[in-house]
Copies of this chain bind each other. A is one copy, B any other.
Amino acid sequence: MSDQTAEWRVQLAGTLLRKLSMHATLSPAECERILSLPVRSQRIPARTVFIEEGASRREACALVQGHACRFKTLADGSRQILSFHIAGDFIDLDSTVLEIADHGVSTLTDSIVAYVPHESVTAAMAEHAGIARAFWRETQVDSSIFREWLLNVGQRDAFTRLAHLLCETALRYSAAGLGRAERFEFPVTQNDLADATAMTAVYVNRTLQRLRAEGWVSMHHGEVRIENWKALCDAAGFDRTYLHIPATIAA
C-alpha cells in the first residue's frame, strides 16, 4: 500500500466512522474491524461516471474525498439524479446484495473513492452484529431520503421543491461537518439541480432568482448561502425527521 493510500485510509476511517457512529454505537473492536477492511483507493476526475448503470460489481465503494451523485437515465437521455454524496458516504452498499447496479454513480468534483471487496463487507457484518446494524441503518436512512425525494418531486411545485432540496443539503452538509448550514460548498450546476428536482435548467435558473429575490438563498459558483433559514424551511415545508439526524446536531 502506498503512503498516499494509507493517508486516504485515515481520512476514510475518520469520516466513515464518524458517520456510522452518529447513530449506531460501535464497540472499539467493531471500529477496529472497519478500519482494517482492505481497501483499494482511486482518484477519479470531476464529472466522471465510475459505476455504470447495469454493471455487475465485486466491490462496494465509499467516498473518501470529493462529491458524487447517483443517477438513472432513460432511453431518451433524460437523467434523474437520485442522491448527492459527500466524503464518508458508503455510496453503493446495495452492491453487496444486489448483483446488478440499477443506477449509475458519477463524481461531481475531483474525488477519491475507496473500494472494498464484497466478501470483506459481508464477513465484517457476519462477525459483528453492530457493524451489520450500522450498515443496515445507513441503508434505511438512504431509503428514507429516497422516499422524501419522491414526495418532493411528486407533490411539491418547482419553487418549493428546490427550496426543499437546499434545506436538506444544508442540514446534511452541516451535520457532516462540511461548513455551517448558512454557507456551504455544493458543487453542482443548475443542470444538475434540474436533474435532481425534475425541472429544466432554465426553470431552475428562474426559480433560483426568485429564491434570491425573496432574500432566502443565493447560490454562485457552487457556493450556497442561506440568508433566511427559517423562512426557507417554512416555504419548503422542511421537516428534518426523515433525515434521522440526532437532535443533538443543530441545523
Determine how many copies of this chain the complex contains. Answer: 2
CA distance A246 to B13 in the complex (A): 35
Chain A contact-residue range equals 35 or more
- Main SS at interface, chain A: helix
B237–A133 contact, CB under 8 A? Answer: no
Q: In this complex, what residue of B is CB-closest to A197?
A: B154
The residue in A125, A132, A136 that gathers the most chain B C-beta atoms within 10 A of its C-beta is A136
- Select which of B74, B94, B150 is within 8 A of A149 by beta carbon: B150
Segment at the interface with B among A36-44, A96-104, A214-222, A225-233: A96-104
Does A137 sit within 8 A of B, measured CB to CB? yes
B198–A155 contact, CB under 8 A? Answer: yes
Does A46 sit within 8 A of B, measured CB to CB? no
Q: In A16-61, which residues have CB < 8 Å from any B CB?
A: 23, 54
**How near does chain B come to A210, taking the closest CB pair, in angstroms?**
19
A–B complex contacts, Cβ < 8 Å, 19 sampled: A54-B241, A70-B147, A72-B151, A74-B155, A74-B156, A74-B237, A80-B151, A94-B143, A98-B141, A98-B144, A102-B241, A122-B133, A125-B132, A139-B139, A142-B143, A146-B146, A146-B150, A150-B150, A154-B198
